[in-house]
Amino acid sequence: MTDKPTCAVEVSQVTKVFNVGKPNQVKALDDINLTVSNGAFVSLIGPSGCGKSTLLRLIAALTHPTEGTVCVNDKSADQARLDRDYGMAFQTSALFKWRTITDNIELPLQLMGWSRSKRKERVVEMLDLVKLSEFGDHYPNELSGGMRQRVAIARALSFRPSLLLMDEPFGALDEMTREHMQTELLEIWNRTGKTVVFVTHSIPEAVFLSQRVIVMSPRPGRIASDISVDIGERVFETRESPEFFAKVTEVREALRFDHGADE
Amino acid sequence: MARLLRAVGPALILGIGGLVLWEVSFAILQPEGFVLPAPSEILAAFFENIDEIWAATKNTGYIVVTGLIGGVALGVFWALLVSRFRVANETLTPLSIALNAIPIIALAPIFNAWFGLLSPVSNQSIVVILVFFPVFINTTKGLTEVQPDEIELMRSYAASSWDVSRMVRIPNALPYFFTSLKIASSLAVIGAIVAEYFGGRQDALGPLIVQNAGLTRYADAWAAVLAGSLLGIVLYLLSGIFERASMPWEHAAETAGS
């Protein structure tokens, strides 16, 4: 990757329909246009059923659009997946319980054919990045939820992808751990300069982390608003600042499209 | 040592207590020998005929272990096929279920006609078929019931389906496989002994039980049953040792939890 692509992610006129032609046919995404520039931190937020996870999986080429195109790093999403251009982190952490922490972080490197010595070197670096240096020989079951998510992030970054796709990675964590993880993720983002697309349910989380918050509306999933968050450097006090509250309110207002009976 | 004692202590106390109760009540009630001999009589018969019992256990053990290995190998192979190829799943799974619906032990006399009355193949075949089904069903479940996120993660790395099998499906199936191995090891002993009632070598546990019961030497018959139980227990424990050795992460979680 010598030439930096202009757009990390470019989604144009994407529609996604599940179960095409069947009685349970459902339109998950409708006419989505989204561009994420290189090095940006963008959050996708919306109620259940708004298709934010589907959109993330389209970017990851784990599913394909019914109409429209998805480009990652100026190539097709499929090609980007084959080129291992992105790392992914899930809410469940998806660590393999039969592998130690070290072996979990090594897994993508092993698949990509790195030599043993290079793998070991890289794992040490990654464990250091997520502050888990003493836990390399432990198994995932021995770690707390927050620690497991840190391992999942380390694994996603281990092979130096330019893009990080995260699907509610902190969704299962308690509030304190969650805030702590957010700060750490921003630290990692600042140090590594990755592009991040982050799916979340939490308004404060989206505002605290992102430069841009994409608000999505449900049934079918559409982009309702695109809010830029320019509240300066994130520090502990950020969460108590009036600017932060103003942005949280703005996102909350943008999420008020649904006055229906369900939610 | 203290931990081991704490782990097996309650079972040991219950077992010994049960044996004592059995012995004492028999000393008081003195039932007829054909009902059930006292534990001391069975033990005495066991040690009196230890040479004969040992030889018979070795012969039955040979059938059990070879049949177990064959059945496990077949079950695992079948499971790998079924989890890998849709066509295999659609054809082999119903076939296996149909096969399992046959009262397999009832095939023993027929197998004797096929393979020869004294041939070990007949009894081994019974054990193989008995063992096959639980191993196949459980291992298939373990190979297919993988967390969707874990599969998506592998796809995100553009991993080949062989990599997914090797790195995700097979390790995921290990606990299911070992559960089935424990069931299968007991089934194998039952299958071998019952098959021996109908044919095969005459110096094995099955014939020993039949002959002694026929001659009203009930303590001797029970001593042979005891040998069969010990064989089953040894195989069960061996399965447990293999299980622990192949899944160190389970053990790690236990120690971390305490």
What ipTM was predicted for this assembly? 0.85
The C-alpha atoms of residue A64 and residue A77 are separated, in whole angstroms, by: 9
Q: Is the pLDDT of residue A72 over 60?
A: yes
Cα-based distances in Å from B50 to A73, B56, B143, B150, B189: 77, 10, 44, 54, 19
- CB of B207 within 8 A of CB of B228? no
Q: Searching chain A, which residue's CA lies closest to the CA of residue B246?
A: A98
Contact of A62 with chain B, judged by CB distance below 8 Å, is answered with yes
Crossing angle of the two packed helices B50-84 and B39-48, in degrees rounded to 10: 100
Neighbouring C-alpha atoms within 13 Å toward the C-beta of B195: 37
- A29-45: buried (b, 16+ CB within 10 Å) or exposed (e) per residue? bbebebebebebbbbbb
Nearest CB to A94 within list B150, B158, B247:
B150
Q: A98 and B155: CB-CB below 8 Å?
A: no
pLDDT of residue A259: 53
Nearest CB to A98 within list B163, B249, B256:
B249
The C-alpha atoms of residue A60 and residue A80 are separated, in whole angstroms, by: 8
Neighbouring C-alpha atoms within 13 Å toward the C-beta of A150: 28
Q: B174 and A81: CB-CB below 8 Å?
A: no
Q: Searching chain B, which residue's CA lies closest to the CA of residue A107?
A: B167
Tens digits of residue pLDDT in A179-217: 888 998 898 888 888 899 999 989 999 999 999 999 998
Q: A81 and B156: CB-CB below 8 Å?
A: yes
Nearest CB to A84 within list B152, B158, B168:
B158
Q: Rounded to a whole number, what is the distance in Å from the CA of A72 to chain B's nearest CA?
A: 13
Going by C-beta distance under 8 Å and a sequence separation of 6 or more, which residues neighbour residue B6? none
Return the residue in B150, B152, B157 with the most chain A beta carbons within 10 A, the one to mutate for interface testing: B157
The DSSP secondary structure of B106-134, one letter per residue, reads GGHHHHHHHH-TT-HHHHHHHHHHHHHHH
pLDDT of residue A4: 63
Compare B2 and A163 and report the one with higher pLDDT: A163
Q: A139 and B253: CB-CB below 8 Å?
A: yes
Q: A62 and B174: CB-CB below 8 Å?
A: no
pLDDT means over runs of 10, chain B (258 residues): 78 88 83 77 90 92 95 94 81 82 84 83 91 93 91 91 91 94 93 89 89 87 92 93 88 54
The predicted model gives A110-134 an average pLDDT of: 89
B contacts of A139 (beta carbons < 8 Å): 248-249, 252-253
Contact of A141 with chain B, judged by CB distance below 8 Å, is answered with yes
Instruction: Classify residue A237 by burial, with Cβ atoms within 10 Å: 0-12, 13-18, 19+.
Output: exposed
Going by C-beta distance under 8 Å and a sequence separation of 6 or more, which residues neighbour residue A215? A45, A46, A223, A224, A225, A226, A227, A251, A254, A255
Q: Which pTM value belongs to this model?
A: 0.81
Listed residue (B66, B54, B40, B65) closest to B227, CA to CA: B54
What is the three-class DSSP state of B236? helix
What percent of chain A lies above the pLDDT cut of 90? 29
Q: B156 and A92: CB-CB below 8 Å?
A: no
Q: A141 and B256: CB-CB below 8 Å?
A: yes
The predicted model gives A225-254 an average pLDDT of: 87
How high is the mean pLDDT of chain A?
A: 87
Q: B163 and A92: CB-CB below 8 Å?
A: no
Nearest CB to A92 within list B149, B171, B248:
B149
Q: B157 and A107: CB-CB below 8 Å?
A: yes
Strands A7-18 and A26-37: antiparallel
User: For residue A26, what are its two tokens?
Assistant: 């459902």
The predicted model gives A47-76 an average pLDDT of: 89
A contacts of B150 (beta carbons < 8 Å): 94, 96
The DSSP secondary structure of A96-125, one letter per residue, reads -TTS-HHHHHHHHHHHTT--HHHHHHHHHH
Identify the weakest region by mean pLDDT among A61-75, A85-99, A225-239: A225-239
Nearest CB to B153 within list A90, A97, A142:
A90
Q: How many CB atoms lie within 10 A of CB B215?
A: 10
Q: B157 and A138: CB-CB below 8 Å?
A: no
The C-alpha atoms of residue A134 and residue A128 are separated, in whole angstroms, by: 9
Q: Helix, strand, coil shares of chain B as percentages rounded to 5?
A: 85, 0, 15
Contact of A94 with chain B, judged by CB distance below 8 Å, is answered with yes
pLDDT of residue A3: 56
- CB of A135 within 8 A of CB of A57? no
User: For residue B198, what are its two tokens?
Assistant: 């109908």
B contacts of A136 (beta carbons < 8 Å): none
The predicted model gives A136-160 an average pLDDT of: 89
Q: Is the pLDDT of residue A26 over 90?
A: no
The C-alpha atoms of residue B82 and residue B80 are separated, in whole angstroms, by: 6
Name the phi and psi angles at B141, rounded to 5.
-60, -45
pLDDT of residue A24: 86
Query: To the nearest 10°, the Cα dihedral for B99, B102, B104, B110?
Result: -100
Q: A94 and B158: CB-CB below 8 Å?
A: no
Return the residue in A81, A97, A155 with the most chain B beta carbons within 10 A, the one to mutate for interface testing: A97
Nearest CB to A88 within list B147, B156, B253:
B156
B contacts of A142 (beta carbons < 8 Å): 252-253, 256
A contacts of B159 (beta carbons < 8 Å): 111
Compare A68 and B256 and report the one with higher pLDDT: A68
pLDDT of residue A262: 46
